A and B are shown apart, each in its own frame.
Chain A
Amino acid sequence: MKPAPFVHHAPRSVADAVAVLAEVGHDGKVLAGGQSLIPILNMRLASPAHLVDINQVAGLADVTVSDTEVRVGALVRHAQLEHHDEAYAALPLLRQALVNVAHPVIRNRGTTVGSIAHADAAGEMPAMLALTDGVVEAVSASASREIAVADFFEGALETSLTPEELAVAVRFRRFAAGTGTSFMERARRHGDYAMAGVAAAVRTSDGLIADARLSFVSVTDVPRSLDVTEVFAGQEPESVDWSAAADLVHAAIEPEGDIHATAEYRAMLAVELARLTLAQAARRSVAAHQVARDTEGPAA
Chain B
Amino acid sequence: MTEPVTEELLDLTLTVNGVPRHAKAPARRLLSDFLRHDLQLTGTHVGCEHGVCGACTVLVDGQPMRSCLMFAITAQAHEITTVEGLGTIDSMGPVQQAFTECHGLQCGFCTPGFLTTITAYLEDHPHPTSDEAREAISGNLCRCTGYQNIVKSVLRAAEIKAEIRAEIRAELAAGTTAEVDGA
Complex Cα gap A6–B57 (Å): 24
The answer to whether A191 touches B50, judged by C-beta atoms less than 8 angstroms apart, is no
Given contacts A35-B51, A106-B139, contact A5 B5 (CB under 8 A): yes
The smallest C-beta distance from A80 to any residue of chain B, in angstroms, reads 10
Tell me which residues from 80 to 102 in chain A have a Cβ below 8 Å from any Cβ of chain B: 102
Complex Cα gap A227–B33 (Å): 48
Contact with B along A178-209 (1 / 0, CB 8 A): 00000000000111000000000000000000
Partner of A108, one of B28, B64, B68, B135: B64
Given contacts A8-B73, A42-B50, A55-B74, contact A105 B28 (CB under 8 A): no
The answer to whether B28 touches A43, judged by C-beta atoms less than 8 angstroms apart, is no
Tell yes or no: B65 within 8 A of A by CB: yes
A25 surroundings in chain B (CB, below 8 A): none
- Chain A residue, CB-CB nearest to B57: A105
Tell me which residues from 14 to 71 in chain A have a Cβ below 8 Å from any Cβ of chain B: 31, 34-35, 38-39, 41-43, 51, 53, 55-56
Interface centre among A31, A53, A79, A109 (most CB of B within 10 A): A109
Complex Cα gap A34–B67 (Å): 11
Tell yes or no: A155 within 8 A of B by CB: no
Contact with B along A97-117 (1 / 0, CB 8 A): 000001111101100000000
Complex Cα gap A43–B50 (Å): 8
Tell yes or no: A176 within 8 A of B by CB: no
The smallest C-beta distance from B40 to any residue of chain A, in angstroms, reads 19
Complex Cα gap A51–B138 (Å): 31
Given contacts A35-B51, A190-B138, contact A109 B69 (CB under 8 A): yes
The answer to whether B49 touches A109, judged by C-beta atoms less than 8 angstroms apart, is no
The smallest C-beta distance from B10 to any residue of chain A, in angstroms, reads 8
Given contacts A2-B28, A55-B77, A191-B138, contact A105 B68 (CB under 8 A): no
The answer to whether A109 touches B70, judged by C-beta atoms less than 8 angstroms apart, is yes
A35 surroundings in chain B (CB, below 8 A): 51, 66, 69
The answer to whether B65 touches A109, judged by C-beta atoms less than 8 angstroms apart, is yes
The smallest C-beta distance from A185 to any residue of chain B, in angstroms, reads 15
Describe B's contact surface by its main secondary structure: mixed
The answer to whether A2 touches B33, judged by C-beta atoms less than 8 angstroms apart, is yes
Complex Cα gap A30–B30 (Å): 17
Tell yes or no: B42 within 8 A of A by CB: no
The answer to whether A108 touches B65, judged by C-beta atoms less than 8 angstroms apart, is yes
Tell yes or no: A7 within 8 A of B by CB: yes
The answer to whether B63 touches A103, judged by C-beta atoms less than 8 angstroms apart, is no
Complex Cα gap A18–B28 (Å): 21
Complex Cα gap A7–B6 (Å): 12
The answer to whether A53 touches B73, judged by C-beta atoms less than 8 angstroms apart, is yes
The answer to whether A105 touches B66, judged by C-beta atoms less than 8 angstroms apart, is yes
Contact with A along B135-152 (1 / 0, CB 8 A): 110110000000000000
B30 surroundings in chain A (CB, below 8 A): 2-3, 38, 42
Partner of A56, one of B70, B77, B138: B77
Given contacts A38-B70, A42-B49, A105-B65, contact A189 B28 (CB under 8 A): no
Tell yes or no: A259 within 8 A of B by CB: no
- Chain B residue, CB-CB nearest to A10: B73
A103 surroundings in chain B (CB, below 8 A): 54, 138-139
Complex Cα gap A17–B144 (Å): 46
Tell yes or no: B122 within 8 A of A by CB: no
The answer to whether A105 touches B54, judged by C-beta atoms less than 8 angstroms apart, is yes
Complex Cα gap A105–B137 (Å): 10
Give the 8 A-B CB pairs with smallest separation, nearest first: A103-B139, A8-B27, A39-B50, A3-B28, A1-B49, A38-B69, A108-B63, A109-B65
Given A2-B28, A38-B30, output 6 extra A-B contacts at Cβ < 8 Å.
Answer: A2-B30, A5-B27, A8-B71, A31-B74, A34-B69, A34-B70
Residues of B that sit less than 8 Å from A by CB: 5, 7, 10, 26-28, 30, 33, 49-51, 54, 57, 60, 63-66, 68-71, 73-74, 77, 117, 135-136, 138-139
Can you pick out 30 interface pairs between chain A and chain B where the beta carbons lie within 8 Å of each other?
A: A4-B28, A6-B27, A7-B27, A8-B27, A8-B71, A34-B70, A35-B51, A38-B51, A38-B70, A39-B69, A41-B28, A42-B49, A42-B68, A51-B27, A55-B77, A56-B77, A102-B139, A103-B138, A104-B64, A104-B136, A105-B54, A105-B57, A105-B139, A106-B51, A106-B66, A106-B69, A106-B139, A108-B63, A108-B64, A190-B135
